[in-house]
Chain A
Amino acid sequence: MIGGLVQFAYLIATALFVFALHWMNAPATARRAVYAGVAGMVLAIVATWAQPEVVHHLWIVVPLLAGFAVGVPLSRVPLTAVPQRTALSHAFGGLAAGLVGTAKYYLWFGEEAAQLTEFRTVAIIAEVLLGFLTFTGSLMAAGKLQEVKWIPQRPVTYPLQNVTNIALLLLALGLGTAVVLDPTAPWAPVAFALIIVLALTFGVLLIIPIGGADMPTVIAILNSYAGLAAVAMGFVLDNKLLITAGALDGSSGLILAVIMCRAMNRSFTNVLFGAFGQVQQAKMGGEDKVYKPETIEGGAQVLEQASLVVIVPGYGMAVAQAQHKVRELYDQLKKRGVTVKFAIHPVAGRMPGHMNVLLAEADIPYTDLVEMDEINPDMPQVDVALVVGANDVVNPAARTDKSSPIFGMPIIEADRARTVFAIKRSKNPGFAGIDNELYFSDRTWMLFGDAKHVIGELVKQLSGGSGTH
């Protein structure tokens, strides 16, 4: 009886999760998605907890309260820190899956060896491998995003790196096969422990060679792994709710990773094993290029007289926390009848959709946030393109320079606008270590300085001037 009720509750929870994701297709219905998700989760937890075999309630209540105590502050981080929070939550997801798999294996090994069927053992090993490699990999990613001191930001490469990684993975898979063939052998628990150690190591090594610009893709891939680890747990525990919810998460991560890769014109393998972000060999022998600086007054004047302004935000905007100043500039220009749009590149920032969230936080209506593919045809009609902390995503070398590491990557064609203003902190190249031709174009004028400061000055200039224009 209770078993039937539990399955029924799981069925409803599954439906609620599918609806939740469906409602995410538009901002207008998205809030409902959260409520559906919470309802499904509460239902699933209550149904599971109500099963008669669950007798040690304190063992659930205590970690549950601890989870609340950590989870609530984690949900209040500043929005610029959302990428590392997301990476951290993938780590937690991976850890949970890995621990449950480990607990189940040793439990069955000790007490009910008959439970360790071939299929189950395969699933347990998949769960533990995916879980633990996601755990350390996501911790590394979170550390890099948080700029923790002892984790190098720049990609780290060493000789035979890929060979080492693949060898480690093959070793883990070999041990896994051995355990599957004889899960109750006396050496099997040792082999199983070795698999855990290998998975933990592999996660670290996988993320070491990855640089900041690739984080959106890597976070999406880790998202997918965390989902697949939950699926494997579902196979182990014969639980269809875990399988469906995990599959939804896994496919979400997969789609995001594909979108990110396409937006960079690269493949999965290239992101994971390519060690992108190496400083490019300095290209010598070119003529000396010069920046054309512009003053705040001059910049404000041009902006004021424009009728269509497109702002291209990038990670630099997040670093400078300039989104609120950007909003003030947006308001000032709107007041003068200037149309202002934001051009959002899919990989701008450090995770999928990062810029949208920051601009929404600054109260900019999402109807003015335009995707790259939609804005590019209009670029020649744009009077001013204002580049705020974006670099590689507006680099025309992606179109023209076959030797550039970003050649072929779709970009926001800011260089086709009538005038380009680029705000840049210093004269150094961007994250990918590539010089940006845009800055040397005839139409480009540079505004040097901290993004927040420069935009603040522009706003001051505009509001101080003829407000009744």
Chain B
Amino acid sequence: MTPIVLAEAAPQADLWSQIFVFMLASFIGLGVIRRVSRLLHTPLMSLTNAISAIAVVGAILVAGPDYPIGTRVLGAIAVFASVTNIVSGFLITERMLKMFKTAPRPGEGPRP
């Protein structure tokens, strides 16, 4: 009976470490995001969109291995959806952030 107990104990331990990671990451997220400048809330949203498209990792692991074709089709669509978010998310964040400028320093005169 011992092997069965061990086999059950392993995933159980992992479950808890996953939940710990989730909790700590949430606290870090709350702490870091609270300090994000309100000016940047729109770019923040597109940046976190792109970052949460990390789901691409899961999608690759469903589309790439030697699984039945149906599984891989779902995975490939998920890869497409995630990559779209990654590409458009990072590009539009960069595009928006480029627009945020400070006023010209005194001495530089009025802007053209």
Q: Quick one: given A37-B90, A63-B76, are A54 and B38 in contact (CB under 8 Å)? A: no
Q: Shortest Cβ distance from B58 into chain A, in angstroms?
A: 5
From B25, B79, B88, A60 is in contact (CB under 8 Å) with B79
- CB <8 Å contact, A96 and B87: no
B5: chain A residues within 8 A (beta carbon): none
Q: Shortest Cβ distance from A303 into chain B, in angstroms?
A: 17
- CB <8 Å contact, B83 and A68: yes
From A34, A89, A363, B49 is in contact (CB under 8 Å) with A89
CA distance A423 to B39 in the complex (A): 24
Is A467 part of the contact surface with B, judged by Cβ < 8 Å? no
- CB <8 Å contact, B82 and A67: yes
Encoded as 1 (CB less than 8 Å from any A CB) or 0, chain B from 81 to 112 comes to 11111111111111111111111100000110
Among B66, B77, B96, B104: residue with most chain A CB under 10 A: B96
From B36, B76, B87, A59 is in contact (CB under 8 Å) with B76
| Nearest neighbor of B87 in chain A, beta-carbon distance | A71
A334: chain B residues within 8 A (beta carbon): 110
Q: Quick one: given A24-B47, A90-B49, are A237 and B68 in contact (CB under 8 Å)? A: no
Q: Report how many residues on chain B are interfacial, defined by Cβ distance under 8 Å.
A: 84
Q: Quick one: given A72-B87, A107-B71, A251-B29, are A17 and B51 in contact (CB under 8 Å)? A: yes
| Nearest neighbor of A74 in chain B, beta-carbon distance | B88
B110: chain A residues within 8 A (beta carbon): 331, 334-335
CA distance A367 to B37 in the complex (A): 12
Q: Quick one: given A71-B88, A239-B58, are A246 and B52 in contact (CB under 8 Å)? A: yes
A110: chain B residues within 8 A (beta carbon): 68
| Number of A-B residue pairs at CB separation under 8 A | 379
Is A230 part of the contact surface with B, judged by Cβ < 8 Å? yes
Is B9 part of the contact surface with A, judged by Cβ < 8 Å? no
| Nearest neighbor of A56 in chain B, beta-carbon distance | B64
CA distance A56 to B35 in the complex (A): 43
- CB <8 Å contact, B78 and A255: no
CA distance A37 to B91 in the complex (A): 11
Q: Quick one: given A20-B47, A89-B89, A226-B52, are A255 and B94 in contact (CB under 8 Å)? A: no
Stretch from A98-106, A271-279, A395-403, A414-422 forming part of the interface with B = A98-106
Q: Shortest Cβ distance from A222 into chain B, in angstroms?
A: 10
Interface of B toward A, CB cutoff 8 Å = 11, 14-15, 18, 21-22, 25-26, 28-30, 32-68, 70-72, 74-104, 110-111
Interface of A toward B, CB cutoff 8 Å = 13, 17-18, 20-22, 24-27, 30-31, 33-34, 37-38, 40-41, 44-45, 48-49, 51, 53-57, 59-60, 62-64, 66-68, 70-72, 74-77, 79, 82, 85-86, 89-90, 92-93, 95-97, 99-100, 102-104, 106-107, 110, 117, 119, 219-220, 223, 226-227, 229-231, 233-256, 259, 331, 334-335, 344, 346, 351-354, 356-357, 360-361, 363, 365-369, 371
Would you list 9 pairs from A and B whose C-beta atoms are within 8 A, ordered by A residue? A34-B93, A41-B86, A51-B61, A70-B80, A100-B78, A107-B71, A248-B29, A251-B30, A252-B29
